[in-house]
Amino acid sequence: MYDYKKLKSPKFDENLPKITVYDGRKTKFSIKLAVIVGLAIIMILLLVLFVFQQYRVSGISMQPSLQNNDNIIILKLPVSWAAVTGHSYIPSRGSIVVFRLDGTKLIKRVIGLPGDKLVIKNGTLTIYNKTHPTGFDPDKTMAYGKSLSGITVGNVDETIPHNELYVLGDNRSQAIDSRYFGPINVNEVIGRALVRITPLNKIRLF
């Protein structure tokens, strides 16, 4: 019978190169993690480019509805979809929009739509169109009218051209808006105000 007690432990040469064991599970996990992170970044970029965007209010032209330095989220999806389908995005009357003007982003409220005849006289706003041939005052008939401040100064009598919008600030006596720079092209609209996110105690939907 073989005597196992006489069996000697093998000697290893410490100078031999060490063998690294390949762990395929760790590599697969790293690849999956990289793919997930990459997809997340792509989704965020797509959302920012085509769906949502943050905007910080600058100035007092939209007071009291929006204050200086308020942060809001604007919805860009309708604008993006209109571009894809080859149509013009026409926001609804009374909605708050962010748009480009001479390289600057501004925020105002949509008052006049394409085809409207808009008159401002003696502090009163009147809009004439096919639906209201005798005229109506959206400041008095629409819900946003409760958010206005000051008198609608100016002397305006013009028809809004095709694919253009007439925008006004809610702070009517101090806002720089279409009364000064004229109607804006619908293609300059970036999106409409969706929600105010800060200050936290003033979060609200528009």
Task: Name the β-bridge partners of 108.
Answer: 97
Q: How far apart are CA 203 and CA 50, in angstroms?
A: 23
- The 8-class DSSP code of residue 136 comes to B
Q: What is the share, in percent, of the chain residues with pLDDT greater than 90?
A: 73
Per domain, the residue ranges of the chain are 52-205
Residue 28's pLDDT is 76
**Which pLDDT band, with edges at 50, 70 and 90, does 124 fall under?**
very high
Q: How far apart are CA 36 and CA 39, in angstroms?
A: 5
Pairing of strands 164-168, 184-185: antiparallel
**Which pLDDT band, with edges at 50, 70 and 90, does 32 fall under?**
confident
The answer to whether residue 29 scores a pLDDT higher than 80 is no
- State the average pLDDT over residues 66-89: 94
Structure tokens, 27: 């590599």
Q: Which amino acid does the sequence have at 84? A: V
- State the average pLDDT over residues 119-137: 96
Residue 41's pLDDT is 77
Residues contacting residue 70 through CB under 8 Å, at least 6 positions apart? 56, 57, 196, 198, 199, 202
Residue 152 burial (CB count, 10 A):
20
Q: How far apart are CA 187 and CA 73, in angstroms?
A: 19
- Are the beta carbons of 112 and 126 closer than 8 angstroms? no
Q: Measured between alpha carbons, how far apart are the two ends of the chain, in Å?
A: 93
Q: How far apart are CA 122 and CA 136, in angstroms?
A: 15
The answer to whether residue 25 scores a pLDDT higher than 80 is no
The answer to whether residue 13 scores a pLDDT higher than 60 is no
pLDDT tens column, 137-191: 999 999 999 999 999 999 999 999 999 999 999 999 999 999 999 999 999 999 9
Q: What CATH number does the domain located at 52-205 have?
A: 2.10.109.10
Residue 48's pLDDT is 63
The answer to whether residue 23 scores a pLDDT higher than 90 is no
Closest CA to 90 of 185, 160, 186: 186
pTM greater than the 0.85 cutoff: no
- Are the beta carbons of 195 and 73 closer than 8 angstroms? yes
**Which pLDDT band, with edges at 50, 70 and 90, does 36 fall under?**
confident
Residue with token string 């019978």:
1
Compute the CA torsion angle 35, 38, 42, 48 (nearest 10 deg).
Answer: 140
